[in-house]
A and B are shown apart, each in its own frame.
Chain A
């Protein structure tokens, strides 16, 4: 695998991870570890993401202004950083979800062609 391919793969993964984080935060603010657990849980453990890659993703989202961060206290009275969706992020989530659906639909149509395929 060349470095270019590797980079492109990483980019795809980054985009998808961003989407998952945004979706998770739709339900309310959470700290980093909770987000990681939520993603694993909701995907039935199919998506095993290296938990560390969460942090660059979170910072990217902060920089783009899609999420914000504040200090808070977690369930067991521990200090934690809580991430929250911003209105801009909420809108971006809708756009990206729409794009994702379109992409997934297009791929599905190719993989499972409709019965209208011409008879050879």
Chain B
């Protein structure tokens, strides 16, 4: 480089002086100065071209050689278009699929969170002897904030019930978060406009203020900065807009509005035993998570001693934020990345076999080139150029495939996938694609190249390029066996998940899932000023809904089964309150109306469900499920006992009925942590202080044979008759909820199934290619056999047998791989259901499928082998 620059820097001057000298000579010969210069210039020639040619002399030799290699390679590839097309397509499929999946992994799992210094962010939970992680209480949070030194800032928040916006604009239900002061600063994001809540606003009696989302700002205020100071009417109260959240903010669910946590209703805040909040904290620089954990342990221990009734045996847990967000799904995504990597290996096997077959045909060409002095390294370089070039084109096409394929992949992924907005063909993804492409290209270039340059010149020239080295056959066979094994592994994985989905579909969740619709409705805030008026309003509303033609039964519940709602409460029977409520057994509690049982189709096993008489004026009653009855009243009649429920204790109440247990959390059996006991409390008996917050969280379940499209408008009209500003939202059919509950298993099944199908296609092409090639190589041998008396059927069986042997070995090895994959799948707590890791049905049917496809693939070459006219190959010698 430097030498080149040195040599060329004087070139202009040298040329100028040369021309000057010639000019002088011309003048000395008697020409005029102008003629002299003209003649000199003409004699010199085109100065620009001279400069360019001189510069070209110094072009790096390696660049020139590379250019030659590329031109030669392109020529060779153009001569065999079928080969080139197949290789490029195969690589494109493999690289494209890998890039698509990697972009999901990169976006969701690997890329850093979009907050300031995201690795300093942690979530702080409480824990108790029953549950390693529970929500926190407001009073505990405030004590933490005062005493903890490990954190720069702490903030608490909860995704509340949301608000009904009535002004400005059309009434709409908005999702909301209640946040403590300094929430955005803790998170490390800058508001687009305005400011967030200060400590004075974040308390009871503070001025109602709201921070709105960027989307809402654009929708309702046209994105103009004078939205600040304007008011929005939420749930009947005027809030003044003080800030706008940044665009694209998504943290623990989306929110349209943020209101001060301290202004929420007092039930949530004033009881130390009410745990409804989440806590986000930012570590101080230099403080590690174990250190913070140690400090929190001490702080919580002190609180346990200060407040033995509420906090006994409560702990604190500090966990990194990123893990909390993506931990659940990262394992499965990485598994899928591994699976698609196997597909790439299979594709590479095909490409390797193709390249090997082709380089065998070109061994003569290599021998000749070597004889002409090309040298081994030159030949290797050219083969590498060829394979890298093929890989680059394949990789480029693969990138295109990935770009197109990302959308369908995202469509299959579960709806609640965290950070799905980060999935894109970003720079790390492009680097990944490029790296894989180059690695594949070099891998394929080296293998046949190293084999080839060793070829004996004499043999290659003599045999005219038809050398059938046993080594090559062995490598090809090994590759096919590998492909079969990997394909079997993927097929088994997909098969197990398919059976899981099928089993889940057969589960009876304990209630009637068809003809059931659930939705939420906001009740006018003018009607819910007092507990009494609230009860009346809700009662009126449900009567109106029941009166709609087509509604067979309808009532409220505070938790719709399979929707992910619902909480656990401690309980005890016959007034025997345990010393530590935190360690008490839990049940899943439902607050429902009397018609709920009929609407849900839950069987009544003993006694009765609620009636219109069960109000606050009468003694409280509770209905339990058969699991609770079985566990706590074995051989006894539960109806003769009482039960008390909850930290803010409800009861003791008489048990008046036993109903069937329902699968509220998912169709599969819930993890051991989840209590099986369930109990129902009549909403009409909900004590006054809890009426407003609890009722606002109700959903309505409706049993109707009509489609939602037909009946919902009628229901909306009925709701509108009571109050014009009552939005109906979150309409779901129970069927849809059932399907969604299976989405954790469905998406890996679909993707793994797609990979397995692709693998099957590639592997069958692979075995076809290898067998066909082998037949072509053995044409002479077949001819001899036929002459010696072998029948067509013998030949057919010989060829087919060769293929089958490869498949069987592949199946044997693959079975081991498949068992391994099955064990990995079962190690995920929620992937497999109803199938054991060694499920024989899956293994056998998948193996049969693979065999069948392989036989089909070998059929054509086997057939062609029988058509060999024995005289032709023999004569060709």
Task: Check if B869 is an interface residue, CB within 8 A of chain A.
Answer: no
List the one stretch of B51-59, B241-249, B310-318, B409-417 in contact with chain A.
B51-59
List the one stretch of B11-19, B161-169, B475-483, B857-865 in contact with chain A.
B11-19
Task: Check if B34 is an interface residue, CB within 8 A of chain A.
Answer: no
Q: Chain B contacts of A37 at CB under 8 A?
A: 25
Task: Check if A15 is an interface residue, CB within 8 A of chain B.
Answer: no
Choose among A33, A53, A63 the residue that contacts B45 (Cβ–Cβ < 8 A): A53
The residue in chain A whose Cβ has the minimal distance to the Cβ of B50 is: A52
Q: Are A59 and B18 in contact (CB under 8 A)?
A: no
Chain B contact residues: helix, strand, loop or mixed = helix
Task: Check if B307 is an interface residue, CB within 8 A of chain A.
Answer: no
Choose among A53, A55, A78, A80 the residue that contacts B15 (Cβ–Cβ < 8 A): A55
Interface centre among A50, A56, A78 (most CB of B within 10 A): A56
The residue in chain B whose Cβ has the minimal distance to the Cβ of A34 is: B21
Q: Chain A contacts of B15 at CB under 8 A?
A: 52, 55
Q: Are B43 and A50 in contact (CB under 8 A)?
A: yes
A51 vs B22: C-alpha distance when bound (angstroms): 10
Asked if A56 meets B53 with Cβ closer than 8 Å, knowing A50-B43, A50-B44, A81-B10, the reply is: yes
In the assembled complex, how far is the CB of residue B558 from the closest CB belonging to chain A, in whole angstroms? 85
Asked if A50 meets B10 with Cβ closer than 8 Å, knowing A33-B21, A55-B15, A59-B54, the reply is: no
Q: Chain B contacts of A53 at CB under 8 A?
A: 45, 50, 53
Q: Chain B contacts of A62 at CB under 8 A?
A: 7
Choose among A33, A55, A60, A79 the residue that contacts B22 (Cβ–Cβ < 8 A): A33
Asked if A56 meets B17 with Cβ closer than 8 Å, knowing A51-B22, A81-B10, the reply is: no
Write out, one digit per residue, whether chain B residues 120-140 have a CB within 8 A of any chain A CB (1) or not (0). 000000000000000000000
Task: Check if A29 is an interface residue, CB within 8 A of chain B.
Answer: no
Q: Chain A contacts of B22 at CB under 8 A?
A: 33, 36, 51
A56 vs B50: C-alpha distance when bound (angstroms): 7
The residue in chain B whose Cβ has the minimal distance to the Cβ of A61 is: B57
Q: Are A60 and B57 in contact (CB under 8 A)?
A: yes
A9 vs B56: C-alpha distance when bound (angstroms): 18
Q: Chain A contacts of B7 at CB under 8 A?
A: 59, 62, 69
Q: Are A52 and B10 in contact (CB under 8 A)?
A: no
Write out, one digit per residue, whether chain A residues 23-43 have a CB within 8 A of any chain B CB (1) or not (0). 000000000110011000000
A37 vs B43: C-alpha distance when bound (angstroms): 12
A90 vs B126: C-alpha distance when bound (angstroms): 90
In the assembled complex, how far is the CB of residue A20 from the closest CB belonging to chain B, in whole angstroms? 17
Asked if A50 meets B17 with Cβ closer than 8 Å, knowing A33-B22, A56-B53, A56-B54, the reply is: no
> For window 8-67 of chain B, which residues contact chain A by CB distance below 8 Å?
10-11, 14-15, 17-18, 21-22, 25, 43-47, 49-50, 53-54, 56-58
Q: Are B47 and A63 in contact (CB under 8 A)?
A: no
Q: Chain A contacts of B45 at CB under 8 A?
A: 50-53
A3 vs B46: C-alpha distance when bound (angstroms): 19
Q: Chain B contacts of A60 at CB under 8 A?
A: 57
The residue in chain B whose Cβ has the minimal distance to the Cβ of A51 is: B44
Q: Are B54 and A55 in contact (CB under 8 A)?
A: yes
Q: Chain A contacts of B58 at CB under 8 A?
A: 59, 63
A89 vs B360: C-alpha distance when bound (angstroms): 44
The residue in chain A whose Cβ has the minimal distance to the Cβ of B25 is: A37
Q: Chain A contacts of B54 at CB under 8 A?
A: 55-56, 59
Choose among A32, A50, A56, A63 the residue that contacts B18 (Cβ–Cβ < 8 A): A32
Q: Chain B contacts of A59 at CB under 8 A?
A: 7, 54, 57-58
Q: How many residues from B make CB contacts under 8 Å with A?
A: 22
Q: Chain A contacts of B21 at CB under 8 A?
A: 33
Q: Chain B contacts of A50 at CB under 8 A?
A: 43-45
In the assembled complex, how far is the CB of residue B88 from the closest CB belonging to chain A, in whole angstroms? 30
Q: How big is the A interface, by class? A: 10 to 19
> For window 71-86 of chain A, which residues contact chain B by CB distance below 8 Å?
78-81
A51 vs B58: C-alpha distance when bound (angstroms): 20
Q: Are B11 and A55 in contact (CB under 8 A)?
A: yes
In the assembled complex, how far is the CB of residue B258 from the closest CB belonging to chain A, in whole angstroms? 71
> For window 42-68 of chain A, which residues contact chain B by CB distance below 8 Å?
50-53, 55-56, 59-60, 62-63
Choose among B14, B44, B50, B57 the residue that contacts A63 (Cβ–Cβ < 8 A): B57
A80 vs B11: C-alpha distance when bound (angstroms): 11
The residue in chain B whose Cβ has the minimal distance to the Cβ of A63 is: B57
A86 vs B548: C-alpha distance when bound (angstroms): 108
In the assembled complex, how far is the CB of residue B58 from the closest CB belonging to chain A, in whole angstroms? 7
Q: Are B57 and A51 in contact (CB under 8 A)?
A: no
Q: Chain A contacts of B44 at CB under 8 A?
A: 50-52
Interface centre among B10, B17, B47 (most CB of A within 10 A): B17
The residue in chain A whose Cβ has the minimal distance to the Cβ of B14 is: A81
Q: Chain B contacts of A56 at CB under 8 A?
A: 50, 53-54, 56-57
A105 vs B7: C-alpha distance when bound (angstroms): 38
Q: Chain A contacts of B10 at CB under 8 A?
A: 81
Q: Chain A contacts of B14 at CB under 8 A?
A: 32, 55, 81
> For window 483-542 of chain B, which residues contact chain A by CB distance below 8 Å?
none
A80 vs B10: C-alpha distance when bound (angstroms): 10
A33 vs B26: C-alpha distance when bound (angstroms): 13
In the assembled complex, how far is the CB of residue A45 from the closest CB belonging to chain B, in whole angstroms? 12
Q: Chain B contacts of A52 at CB under 8 A?
A: 15, 44-47, 49-50
A36 vs B18: C-alpha distance when bound (angstroms): 10
The residue in chain A whose Cβ has the minimal distance to the Cβ of B43 is: A51
A78 vs B13: C-alpha distance when bound (angstroms): 12
The residue in chain B whose Cβ has the minimal distance to the Cβ of A48 is: B43
A36 vs B43: C-alpha distance when bound (angstroms): 11
The residue in chain A whose Cβ has the minimal distance to the Cβ of B13 is: A79
A10 vs B352: C-alpha distance when bound (angstroms): 43
A59 vs B46: C-alpha distance when bound (angstroms): 17
Instruction: Rank and list the top 9 A-B pairs by shortest CB-CB distance, nearest first.
Output: A52-B45, A52-B50, A50-B45, A56-B53, A33-B21, A59-B57, A52-B44, A56-B54, A33-B18
Q: What would 10 more interface pairs be, CB under 8 Å, given A56-B50, A60-B57? A: A51-B44, A51-B45, A53-B53, A55-B15, A56-B57, A59-B57, A62-B7, A63-B57, A63-B58, A81-B14
**Interface CB pairs A-B, < 8 A, 27:** A32-B18, A33-B17, A33-B18, A33-B21, A36-B22, A50-B43, A50-B45, A51-B18, A51-B22, A51-B43, A52-B44, A52-B45, A52-B47, A52-B49, A53-B45, A55-B11, A55-B15, A55-B53, A56-B53, A56-B54, A56-B56, A59-B7, A59-B57, A60-B57, A63-B57, A69-B7, A81-B14
